[in-house]
Amino acid sequence: MQKNNPTITRAWCFYDWANSVYSLVITSTIFPIYYSAVAKDPVTASTIVPFLGFELESAVLFSYAVSAAFLIIAALSPFLTAIADYSGRKKLFMRLFCYIGSLSCIGLYFFTRETFTFSVILFVLASIGFSGSIVFYNAYLPEIATEDQYDKLSAQGFAMGYIGSVVLLVFNLAMILQPGWFGIAADNTSLPPRIAFLTTGLWWFGFAQYSFYHLPANVHHRKPKGSWVLNGFRELQKVLHQVKELPLLKRYLLAYFFYNMGVQTVMYVATIFGIEVLQLESGDLITTILIIQLVAIAGAYGFAVLSRKFGNIKALMGAVVVWIGICVGAYFTDNVYQFYILAAIVGTVMGGVQSLSRSTYSKLIPATTIDNASFFSFYDVTEKISIVLGTLAYGAIAQVTGSMRNSILALLVFFVVGLFFLFFVKGKKSLEPAVEEGTVRIMN
């Protein structure tokens, strides 16, 4: 298959447009707010909810649900990606997880207090679907583009995701804030958020069809024989052995593990920090989220330019240094205007560090491999475990010390450790600037 085919690369980027609405609508904005409202007893104002025979605080259950989804996909992805690599069915698995996630979002339209337990299960399935599809999606990058295009294409994908998610979020917010414009009675406050979940699933499912139509099904024309599962395990063993022989890849994963703990924790707790510490109104929080999303578009492209000029690792180190500054600023932030400024800076480096992390990892994978999904499963597992540990550490420190500001200092430590390990990821020519098109990667 010829690389850098514009139709295929456009279709690949378009999946970011399709699935990123989940991250914004379900993970960050409308779903958490609606979940909290439904979980609160209208008579007693209690936030204790029943779930599978247990009585739990709703916020704790939400945290457990997110952690469970990440842990499940972290456990499954190495084996499923190995099977996908052996069978040549990467797109099939990507499509399967996409459908699990999008259909679960559609099912959240029926989320009420009466369907609370079932809806939480749907939320977990939606998270699994999103995370699972991303593993196979990322694995396409080194197969559809030459190395000199990784940074640009990765940034383009993230940018399209930010744009698409903002478009749908603005539509859903208009429906929630002005239900009359859409023929919805003002007192029917539960319907607009539930329609938002429905539109998220439909958007994700519908726009993904363009990607699935154009992305190649079996790039390396593999013809599996025998048991997919058994041979998939053998494929995983082979890739694991290769990873052990790639010192730069291991160093990079270690650095990524620590600085990603900081990045992802900030993304997940920024709203809670604004509510609990700064006492911000919902309108201020929504404005903050929109600022982050829009600025992140420029950040993704900006860091792609920096990587061409200074190299991937130096660009990432610069981003991590900015993240350290953000932690210091967050510790001293005490009003909404400072929070807006901080959000703009977060958006700039959030888009850059996410897109550049993905493309950098792609460059560290051996050029001769045909097991890209399996290699990206290690990237995905590193990401998921770092999210679980990062959010756990943030919450534990806040609980023990009684202040979320102290948790911010823990994030600063994560970034410092990540920066330290990034310093030792050097020596591979493909990570340096001015890589010419058609350059052949060297094994590290």
User: Is 256 inside any structural domain?
Assistant: yes
Q: What are the C-alpha distances in Å from 352 to residues 66, 155, 330, 347?
A: 25, 7, 20, 9
Lowest-pLDDT range, 238-242, 246-250, 319-323? 238-242
> Residue 9: its pLDDT value, please?
93
Q: Do 312 and 363 touch, CB atoms closer than 8 A?
A: yes
CA-to-CA distance for 416 and 248, rounded, in angstroms?
A: 19
CA-to-CA distance for 372 and 381, rounded, in angstroms?
A: 14
User: Is 223 inside any structural domain?
Assistant: yes
Work out the pLDDT band at 22, boundaries 50, 70, 90.
Answer: very high
pTM, full prediction: 0.81
> Residue 23: its pLDDT value, please?
86
Helix (H, G, I), strand (E, B) or coil at 250: helix
In this prediction, what percent of the chain has a pLDDT beyond 70?
87
CA dihedral 285, 287, 292, 294 (to 10 degrees): 160
Lowest-pLDDT range, 1-5, 22-26, 351-355? 1-5
Distance of CA 402 to the CA centre of its chain: 29
User: Is 441 inside any structural domain?
Assistant: no
> Residue 441 pLDDT > 60, yes or no?
no
> Residue 190 pLDDT > 60, yes or no?
yes
> Residue 155: its pLDDT value, please?
86
CA-to-CA distance for 2 and 342, rounded, in angstroms?
A: 43
Lowest-pLDDT range, 62-71, 289-298, 323-332, 424-433? 424-433
Work out the pLDDT band at 442, boundaries 50, 70, 90.
Answer: very low
> CA angle 274-275-280, nearest 5°?
75
Tokens read off for 322: 């900015």
In sequence order, what are the beta bridge partners of 56?
49
User: Is 233 inside any structural domain?
Assistant: yes
Instruction: Output b/e per residue, 144-155; b: 16+ Cβ within 10 A.
Output: bbbbbbbbbbbb
User: Is 439 inside any structural domain?
Assistant: no
Mean pLDDT, range 310-339, rounded to an integer: 88
CA-to-CA distance for 176 and 286, rounded, in angstroms?
A: 12
> Residue 435 pLDDT > 50, yes or no?
no
Mean pLDDT, range 68-90, rounded to an integer: 80
> Residue 331: its pLDDT value, please?
86
> Residue 299: its pLDDT value, please?
84
> Residue 8 pLDDT > 60, yes or no?
yes
Mean pLDDT, range 205-233, rounded to an integer: 73
Mean pLDDT, range 35-43, rounded to an integer: 84
Helix (H, G, I), strand (E, B) or coil at 292: helix
Query: Mind giving me the DSSP string for 339-355?
Result: HHHHHHHHHHHHHHHHH
Q: Do 376 and 137 touch, CB atoms closer than 8 A?
A: no
> Residue 197: its pLDDT value, please?
97
Domain count across the chain: 1
Work out the pLDDT band at 111, boundaries 50, 70, 90.
Answer: very high
How many H helices and E strands in the chain?
A: 15, 2
DSSP state of 216: -
Work out the pLDDT band at 133, boundaries 50, 70, 90.
Answer: very high
DSSP state of 180: G
The CATH number of the domain holding residue 199 is: 1.20.1250.20
| pLDDT tens profile 272-285 | 677 666 777 767 77
> Residue 439: its pLDDT value, please?
37
Highest mean pLDDT among 86-100, 194-208, 244-258, 375-389: 194-208
Mean pLDDT, range 160-180, rounded to an integer: 91
- Which residues constitute the domain of residue 216? 6-431
- What average pLDDT is seen over the chain? 82
User: Is 375 inside any structural domain?
Assistant: yes
Helix (H, G, I), strand (E, B) or coil at 165: helix
User: Is 212 inside any structural domain?
Assistant: yes
Lowest-pLDDT range, 64-68, 98-102, 225-229? 225-229
Mean pLDDT, range 65-74, rounded to an integer: 84
Work out the pLDDT band at 444, boundaries 50, 70, 90.
Answer: very low
In this prediction, what percent of the chain has a pLDDT beyond 90?
28
Q: Do 351 and 297 touch, CB atoms closer than 8 A?
A: yes
User: Is 437 inside any structural domain?
Assistant: no
> Residue 430: its pLDDT value, please?
41
